[in-house]
Amino acid sequence: MERSLLRYIWRHTCRQQLWILLVVAASMVPFFLAFDLPKQIINGPIQGNGFEAPDERQPFFRITYDLPVIERGEFFTGIDLDRQQTLMALSAIFLLLVLINGLFKFYINTYKGRLGERMLRRIRFELVDRVLRFPPNHFKRLKSAEITSIVKDEVEPLGGFTGDAFVLPALLGGQALTTLCFIIVQNVWLGMITAGIVGIQLSIIPRMRRRVLELGRLRQLTAREFSGRVSEIVDGIGAVHSNDTSNLERADIAWRLGRIFSIRYDLYQWKFLVKFVNNLFAQVTPFIFYAFGGYFVLIGKLDLGQLVAVIAAYKDLPSPLKDLIDWDQARQDVQIKYATVCDQFSVEPLIAQSVQALAGGPASRLESSIIISNLTLVDDSGAKLLDEVSTEIKPDETIALVGAAGNGAEAFAEALARLIWPEFGSISIGGQDLLDMPESITGRRIAYASGEPFLLHGSLMDNLLYGLKNAPRPDAAAKDEQLIETERYAIEARLAGNVDFLPHRNWIDYQAAGADGLDDLLHKALPTLEDLQISNDIFGLGLRSTIDTKEQPTIGERIIELRGSLRKRLVDKQLDDMLIPLDFDRYNIQASVGENLLFGTWSQGTSSDLAMITHPCFQHVLHSTGLDRSLYGMGFEIAETTIELFRDVAPQHSFFRRLTFMAAEEIPFYQARLSRCRGLRFEHIPREDRASIIALSLAYIEPIHRFGILTEPLMNQLVAARKLFHTDISDDIAKLIDVHDPERVTASATLLDNVLFGRIASQVADADAHIQAIVTELFRAAGLYENVLSLGLQFDVGAGGKRLSLAQRQKLNLARALMKRSDFTIFNRPLSALDQRVDEEITRGIVQRRNDAEHASTILWVLSDPRVAQIFDRVLFFQRGSLMGNGSYFELAQSNAAFRDFLELPSDHL
């Protein structure tokens, strides 16, 4: 990066800077004309100078300029006008000049602003571009929050400075110089003294300011570290809590803030000291004028008129000078900021730009072997990860990389994926060094997945297709107005040195995945998703999303039909105890008392049990059926049992998770409530206590809570109340409830709930899984499987994919790598979060599918379980960074002692 900010700005904006200088120079003409005009108006038409006779006329528009040094001049002899006409004409000119000045100012300011914003855009883009090109090992030393704060905040003043970088010093320097020349012309000695003092001022003040700038730099660094620490606390909050180190963090933050405070305070002291000295210098000059100039006038060596003229001229000198010094201060300030940013971003060796060049066409297949010769890898501390490994990887091979964790297999895989760069030795394909190959080949023809998946914030689909978005595809459907808009965007982007392609165009390379469109792609990807056992998860997500029957008519139309098939299937398989259907005439034992009473879902969000119970409509129903007494009795018993159970349990205890109807901190309140109400007649119980005790009963589900208090008569009473409630229902509450209707789809419920139309029996082991399996089967039979799957792919995975489990993230990451149909596929313990059994099943499935495929990719797989290596063509066995075995599994298991030891094979095996 260019180290000097001024040079950097000049290089990228010299033409614009020259233009703005020119415009500023041009703007000076009307500016000075407007200065002179009021005098002319007052002296001329108003006071009557030159209009002494009533009908005297004066030439108008005789433009004269009155600048120092150069004598008065004349542009135009003008038209003759009388006194009133001249007043009006001059005033009109004044108005015109004001307008012109305003427009000039407007143009100059917006131009400078745009120049600055463009520069800011350029710098920010360049910084992020460099981040994209940092060598991989550099990221181990980076804190993302610090980089973010540099790109976002620290370069901000650089943009503001750009507009003034050359214009301001030219303008102010010109003004100061003109004044100085004028003084010298008036009196050489006084002029020299002034120049001398200005010289001292210009040389001392910046020197003093160096300390200020140094402090400014420190302030920037400490603030950056501070933001890094804050983000570290946020990211590692779990570790802080589990180690009781919150006070250590507090101390650290307080210490850092203290440092920032003392730096900033020091900064203020220096700043105002500099100001004081500066003002002093500015006032010393007039002192010299008065004292010595006056003395020379007294002894007759100096003309009084000259002294007055010099003093008057000097009035105009300090302000541009001060501005000039301020500009210099700003320059040094941003220069230092810029230099620290440069330090942070000048990383060597940067990945060459050509490696990441945009390549639109399909990448050619890698058909030659990967030759690894004397590959040595070291970690940050210099310890060897891999020591002089040489081998060849032929196309169409499947290779298992085996070894204990940290013994070299992972590092070998990472080196092939270019995530670690070789210390010695090389990796080459077809005679070309792997590191020199463009990413448009390696990124598309080599796939890599490790156990630490990176997911973007977006939908599952976005993440799955991430590896296919290498270059924007031509968009045939673009409209003309869009084209114009795009073109305008591209021009502006190029002016700021940004790339001009748009991110929201179609980027997906369907061809690479062997498909001709999105639906086809999904269809083609399905077997992979099945192999990875993630299609079920995605399908599940689809089932658990609410559907808009208008947007998904294909699914919406058939939900009712599927309800019937599910019921029939369960009865056929004698599994009908797993799902208790919703029936308006029967109590559903698997649903809570409240759900049974309501027999529907709230159409807009949910409503708490307490809110429901206090609604007048429910109050009426409960009262008229006598249910209020029964439910109160039930709630009372629940409260009593709960308090008995949890009285002595600490509020953080894991048992409290089970207690869904009462929070730990509510227990004392209920305790007080019970002792208040015990023995009171129902009518005398305070309304509030009654409501909160009845609300407890509404959350009760017999098979889960098992207090044994839900009796048959009570259930019948509840069903009767439900019927009464729904016949007498008022319109305003009816609107809020979607009643369970066997013939209708409930919009506010999930797709699954709509199909189940019942409650899964919680006590039947694996009922969830069984029913989901049957539902999946039904959707498949109905030809709707892929529709639901694509519904599930719309699921938002959250920041960093945190809404998915680690296992799901790993599977998705693997699926993403497989989507590209690359020539070399490298997996680095990609499924470490899975059970060993599932990991093995998936590994076998993928290798099998690869073996059956037409264009088979070379697979290199770092295995968690070495026994799975049997299904691979070849095994590379690593131990302590060395390649200790290279051959088929059975060869190694027979003849390689180290490998046998590693597998813990008994000596008489085979």
Partner 1 sequence: MLSDEVQTLREVPIFSSVEPAKLKLLAFACDRMTYRKGQDLFRQGDQGDAAFVLLSGTADVIVSSASGDVIVAEVGRNAVVGEMSALCNVPRTATVRATSKLEALRISNDHFLALTGEFPTVASEIMRTLVTRLSKTTTELVNARLPPAPD
Select from 379, 766, 796, 901 the one that contacts partner 1 (CB under 8 A): 766
Provide, rounded to whole angstroms, the least separation between the CB of residue 705 and partner 1.
7
Count the site residues for partner 1 by CB under 8 A: 22
CA-based radius of gyration for the chain: 41
**140 or 837, CB closer to partner 1?**
837
Is residue 690 close enough to count as binding partner 1 by CB under 8 A?
Answer: no
Least distance between partner 1 and beta carbon 708 (Å): 4
Q: Would you count residue 708 as binding partner 1 (CB under 8 A)? A: yes
* Single residue of 129, 707, 760, 873 touching partner 1 by CB under 8 A: 707
Rounded least distance, CB 473 to partner 1, Å: 43
Scanning the structure block, which residue is given the tokens 């260019």?
Answer: 2
Q: Residue 551 or 648: which CB sits closer to partner 1?
A: 648
Pick the closer one to partner 1 by CB: 2 or 577. Answer: 577
* CA–CA distance, 84 with 3 (Å, rounded to integer): 62
687 binds partner 1 (CB under 8 A): no
Q: What part of residues 586-645 is at the interface with partner 1 (CB under 8 A)?
A: 644-645
Which residue lies nearer to partner 1 by CB, 147 or 761?
A: 761
* Cβ atoms within 10 Å of 173's Cβ, excluding its own: 14
Strands (E), 529-656: 579-581, 600-602
From the list 78, 80, 83, the residue with the least C-alpha distance to 54 is: 83
Contacting range for partner 1; rule: CB under 8 A; set: 52-60, 204-212, 764-772, 887-895: 764-772
Token duo for residue 133: 């090109």
Task: Kindly identify the residues of this chain, within the stretch 497-556, that bind partner 1 according to CB under 8 A.
Answer: none
Q: Give 426's strand partners.
A: 373
Residues 6+ apart with CB under 8 A from 528: 815, 818, 819, 849
Residue 271 CB neighbours (<10 A): 16
- Least distance between partner 1 and beta carbon 780 (Å): 24
Token pair listed for 103: 């427009």
- CB nearer to partner 1: give 557 or 835: 835
Nearer Cβ to partner 1, position 518 or 649?
Answer: 649
Q: How many CB atoms lie within 10 A of CB 181?
A: 15
Stretch in the footprint of partner 1 (CB under 8 A) among 45-53, 538-546, 579-587, 756-764: 756-764
Window 860 to 889, contacts with partner 1 (CB under 8 A): none
* Angstrom distance (rounded) from CA 443 to CA 421: 16
Q: Which stretch binds partner 1 (CB under 8 A): 105-113, 500-508, 649-657, 868-876?
A: 649-657
Helices 806-819 and 518-531, packing angle to 10 deg? 120
Closer by beta carbon to partner 1, 768 or else 891: 768
SS3 680: coil
- Smaller CB distance to partner 1: residue 83 or 705? 705
Using CB under 8 A, pick the residue from 331, 705, 740, 809 that binds partner 1: 705
Q: How far is the CB of 648 from partner 1 (least distance, A)?
A: 8
How many other C-beta atoms lie within 10 A of the C-beta of residue 216?
Answer: 23
Q: Which of 660, 762, 851, 895 binds partner 1 (CB under 8 A)?
A: 762
Could you tell me which of 515, 161, 85 has the C-alpha nearest to residue 330? 161
Residues numbered 809-838 forming contacts with partner 1, rule: CB under 8 A: 835-837
Nearest to 164 by CA among 334, 278, 318: 334
Show the site string, 655-674: x = touches partner 1 by CB under 8 A, - = not.
x--x----------------
- Backbone torsions φ then ψ of 338, nearest 5 degrees: -60, -40
Phi-psi region of 505 (alpha: psi -120 to 50; beta: other; left: phi over 0): beta
Query: Of 176-184, 308-316, 759-767, 870-878, which part binds partner 1 (CB under 8 A)?
Result: 759-767
Cβ-based nearer residue to partner 1, 357 or 704: 704
Pick one of 291, 299, 765, 910: the residue that binds partner 1 (CB under 8 A): 765
Which segment (152-160, 648-656, 676-684, 798-806) binds partner 1 by CB under 8 A?
648-656
**Smallest separation, CB 906 to partner 1 (Å):** 11
Nearest residue to 262 (alpha-carbon basis) of 213, 210, 209, 219: 219
Among 203, 242, 354, 654, binds partner 1 (CB under 8 A): 654
Residue placing its CB nearer to partner 1 in the complex, 69 or 765: 765
User: Closest separation between CB of residue 540 and partner 1, Å?
Assistant: 19
Nearer to partner 1, 326 or 766 (CB): 766
Which one, 745 or 834, has the nearer CB to partner 1?
834
Exactly one of 763, 805, 851, 895 binds partner 1 (CB under 8 A); which one? 763
Q: Return d(Cα 296, Cα 307) in angstroms, integer.
A: 10
The residue whose two tokens read 């390549």 is 359
> How big is the chain, counted in residues?
910
In whole angstroms, the minimum distance from the beta carbon of 436 to partner 1 comes to 44
Instruction: Compute the distance between CA of residue 364 and CA of residue 386 in angstroms, rounded to an integer.
Output: 31
CB of 847 to partner 1, least distance (A): 20
Evaluate the CA torsion angle 77, 83, 89, 90 in order and state its sign: positive
Rounded to the nearest 10 degrees, how much is the dihedral formed by the CA atoms of 491, 494, 499, 502?
Answer: -10
The enclosing H or E element of 636 equals helix 627-646
Q: How far is the CB of 770 from partner 1 (least distance, A)?
A: 10
* Helix/strand/coil for 820: coil
Mark 835-864 with x for binding to partner 1 (rule: CB under 8 A) and - for no binding.
xxx---------------------------
Q: Which of 448, 237, 206 is nearest to 332 (CA)?
A: 206
How far apart are alpha carbons 664 and 658 in whole angstroms?
11
Strand 600-602 relative to strand 737-739, pairing:
antiparallel
List 157, 294, 703, 845, residue binding partner 1 (CB under 8 A): 703
Task: Provide, rounded to whole angstroms, the least separation between the CB of residue 657 and partner 1.
Answer: 8
Q: Name residue 269's amino acid.
A: Q
- Give me the residues that bind partner 1 (CB under 8 A), please: 644-646, 649, 653-655, 658, 703-708, 762-766, 835-837
